[in-house]
Amino acid sequence: MLVPSMIQTAFRNMSRRTRNANGPGACCNARSGCGFTLIELLVVIAIIALLIGILLPALAKAREAARAAACLSNQRQIGIALMEYANMFNDFIPREAGNVEDPAWPRVLRPLLDETTSWDEPYEDLYAKAEYYRDPARRLDDGHVIHYVSNGLQFVDRENIFERKPATRITRVVTPSSVFWMACFSDDDRGYHYDMAYGDDPDEFHIAIFYDVFLKRHVRPHPTQSRVGLKRHGNGANALHFDGHAEHVTSDELSNLDSWNDLDWYRSNE
């Protein structure tokens, strides 16, 4: 390659000059030409700068890939907890939580992810220690400590949505391997979501019930009300499906309502 050969040539020349100047009877001083010339030093500095320019973008991509992988691992862990919850509660899983009495996924799944927590004890940390709910690629300075949202969309047909989807049996989902149950949470630059989720005196229940989607604009680009990070990781984001598997999907897939439609309404017509 060109750059390595340039480095080798530069150092070979400098090494030869040093050997010649320090041979038998040679004396290193300003007049003898011992050491590196200014031009040679500048060449080396330029080559190092060039290498840094080449390597930094590669390192940035590697860092982004590592963050996306960590996020995907979190969603897979949540998917395992979701399947365990379904087994424990007669196939019912959390969907949209309209009030504190509904099973909100961050609240009910946490004891299945963290043995130090319990359904019978309050989460005094308000999820601050729930690292498995955190996407390392998402900014942390907007106050949110939960970085995922669940599917609370209640479809009445392929296009229309009516109110919110309560906890339902996972067996009602027609194609669980192709429908999203969870996706990455959007950024909240204006604090719109934070004000709704945390309010003046938040508790674990009121925080937990916020992190879901139940309106069309929640899964599509919107200046304030979009709740899905459509491009959290490159050209898309990670998504957890109803069958428990998680993968990276494109922003077009995330904003497509068909990807969120569980077709439960179709089974109701059977």
Domain count, the chain: 1
Query: Is residue 98 assigned to a domain?
Result: yes
Query: Is residue 117 assigned to a domain?
Result: yes
- Domain holding 253, by residue range, is 67-268
Query: Is residue 103 assigned to a domain?
Result: yes
Query: Is residue 60 assigned to a domain?
Result: no
Q: What is the DSSP string of 145-196?
A: ---EEEE-EEESSSS-EEEE--SEEGGG-S-TTTSEEEEEBPP-TTSHHHHH
Query: Is residue 207 assigned to a domain?
Result: yes
Query: Is residue 245 assigned to a domain?
Result: yes
Q: For the chain, 270 residues long, give each residue's pLDDT as a single digit of tens.
A: 444 555 555 555 555 555 554 444 444 554 445 566 888 788 888 888 888 877 777 777 888 999 999 999 999 999 999 999 999 999 999 999 988 889 999 999 999 999 999 999 999 999 999 999 999 999 778 999 999 999 999 999 988 998 899 999 999 999 999 999 999 999 998 899 999 999 888 899 999 999 999 999 999 999 889 999 999 999 999 999 999 999 999 999 999 999 999 999 887 655
